[in-house]
A and B are shown apart, each in its own frame.
Chain A
């Protein structure tokens, strides 16, 4: 098991450590412990992607980092302090979350929904300002939903709706943004659109992004920092090109595969090995094991 750690943390606010980290946390639901004694650093200004098999605790970790779930031991630290010691709105000004599923109230318009992202910045006596207006407009533009602003969220397609939720999280204007499986339920084109959007947010606005993703190839392509989990523990972390090997994929997912360079981006591309019977005889790869005997009559 390789446990490499990337030293490339980018600019630091809180000494050597990232702004957000889990320090020896034990997390789970009710009596069921999912991770125990888990410590994770979220490097600043990186696009971190957490991967791992189903039920490995990756979403649980993200929920704990977003203070949706209180650890039963250890602590989640935000800017050096336990996250639960901050007022809830203060956390919401530093750290945003795109949950896996949210319900849009009946008939709400896109603009109204996105405007709700300003809630942590509002006070009882200082409600809605020109500044809020501009930030909401910016969030709508950044996610390409500005022309949908007056439409009702109910009538949007899945891909549009997910962009609207992202716009709401953007309007929150947090330096750290956590995304819980942001591409689930989207078709491939909308998955890529969503991830491109996240990559832009990271590259252009220098936000710290943390996403849980299912698709390993998407993770390798978009992550600047990858965290691989299995059974509630971190097996490896670092740049995808540095850590993703056939051995790691075998350790994490129990999947036999080959790794090639993504012809588009040069990042690792995982090719699962085919069962012999499925292989097309003509497409022999030089380093592939021999195919089933091919003596069919011709």
Chain B
């Protein structure tokens, strides 16, 4: 999968609206290109592709953590309101405060954590797990989208337009400046999440069985929620609430690796791969129109969601 991600990034560097011979791209990547190819490859294509990698990895990992936590393939942050919460936070920043990119990121982070906290508190009873969390989250998700729509309608037209593009989820024109925050969060949170998620497979057996094996059930859950929300919020802050990557990537990775548990690392790699290729396809398929990647993932993800609901329903759990 890592190879797939690498190949997809290279592909995204080699092809674009502005045709550049492969040899020149290689020279640019190696730091020996001309200034014009350097600009296209190093300043436009590479950061965009790497951005897709980081955002996809963050979404995939976050999705894997939440799905394992809720023991439900529907329990991903884009379904249970965390990404829409992050979007609300970011929208408030864009439309009301009108802050910088960094402020928007902070807004998304605060919004994501706040909605996670609300869902957790509302769903909490005897151990906030499973369906309660998913159902409460879906409710909050609907509510937050209503708030988001309201914010957009009442906003100034120009602001609303840029906010709307952002809300669909797009990697258009992402530069190095926007890349670093999300990479930072990934570098910090991904390894921590991988460590924290080790006992997650044990929690799937029920709290008693996990505790009997020496797992701190509640502490594990809280640490994972914080890390996973931070990852999802960082991704949303960078590229907008890109639909369905967090939902689909862990399940795809699970099927591909043939493992029982949803692994954080495979899901992160799969998320990166899905997003880079989706972005590439969205760019190239309708070139020169630059479709936001969120539309591509939304189309694929929507079909996947229908299939998932049907198969869950057949199993008698949906």
B202 / chain A contacts, CB cutoff of 8 Å: 116, 119
Expressed in whole angstroms, the minimum distance between the Cβ of A3 and any Cβ of chain B is 31
B205 / chain A contacts, CB cutoff of 8 Å: 102-105, 116
Expressed in whole angstroms, the minimum distance between the Cβ of A207 and any Cβ of chain B is 15
Tell me, in angstroms, the Cα distance from A100 to B204 when the chains sit together.
15
Does B209 reach chain A (CB closer than 8 Å)?
Answer: yes
Q: When the two chains form their complex, are residues B213 and A119 in contact, meaning their CB atoms are under 8 A apart?
A: yes
Tell me, in angstroms, the Cα distance from A169 to B210 when the chains sit together.
11
Does B195 reach chain A (CB closer than 8 Å)?
Answer: yes
Interface string of B169-211 (1 = CB under 8 A from A): 0000000000000000000000000010001011011101101
Expressed in whole angstroms, the minimum distance between the Cβ of A30 and any Cβ of chain B is 10
From residue 169 to 227 of chain A, which have CB atoms closer than 8 A to chain B? 169, 172
With an 8 Å Cβ cutoff, the count of chain A residues facing the other chain is 33
From residue 91 to 125 of chain A, which have CB atoms closer than 8 A to chain B? 91-93, 96-109, 112, 116-117, 119-120, 124
A112 / chain B contacts, CB cutoff of 8 Å: 260
Main secondary structure of the interface of B (DSSP, over half): loop
Does A258 reach chain B (CB closer than 8 Å)?
Answer: no
Q: When the two chains form their complex, are residues B213 and A116 in contact, meaning their CB atoms are under 8 A apart?
A: yes
Expressed in whole angstroms, the minimum distance between the Cβ of B221 and any Cβ of chain A is 14
Most B-side CB within 10 Å, residue of A88, A92, A109, A172: A88
Does A89 reach chain B (CB closer than 8 Å)?
Answer: yes
Which partner residue on chain B sits nearest A122 by CB separation? B198
Which partner residue on chain A sits nearest B260 by CB separation? A108
Tell me, in angstroms, the Cα distance from A92 to B215 when the chains sit together.
9
From residue 44 to 81 of chain A, which have CB atoms closer than 8 A to chain B? 63, 66-68
Tell me, in angstroms, the Cα distance from A112 to B254 when the chains sit together.
16
Does B214 reach chain A (CB closer than 8 Å)?
Answer: yes
Does B212 reach chain A (CB closer than 8 Å)?
Answer: yes
Tell me, in angstroms, the Cα distance from A91 to B204 when the chains sit together.
20
B260 / chain A contacts, CB cutoff of 8 Å: 105-109, 112
Tell me, in angstroms, the Cα distance from A93 to B212 when the chains sit together.
10
A105 / chain B contacts, CB cutoff of 8 Å: 201, 204-205, 260-261
Tell me, in angstroms, the Cα distance from A89 to B205 when the chains sit together.
17
Q: When the two chains form their complex, are residues A88 and B195 in contact, meaning their CB atoms are under 8 A apart?
A: no
Q: When the two chains form their complex, are residues A119 and B204 in contact, meaning their CB atoms are under 8 A apart?
A: no
Given contacts A105-B201, A105-B260, A105-B261, contact A120 B214 (CB under 8 A): yes
15 contacts between A and B (CB under 8 A): A63-B208, A67-B211, A88-B214, A88-B216, A92-B213, A93-B214, A98-B212, A101-B206, A105-B201, A105-B260, A105-B261, A106-B260, A119-B199, A119-B213, A169-B212
Q: Which 4 A-B pairs have the closest CB atoms?
A: A92-B214, A89-B214, A99-B208, A97-B212
On A, residues with C-beta under 8 Å from B are 63, 66-68, 87-93, 96-109, 112, 116-117, 119-120, 124, 169, 172
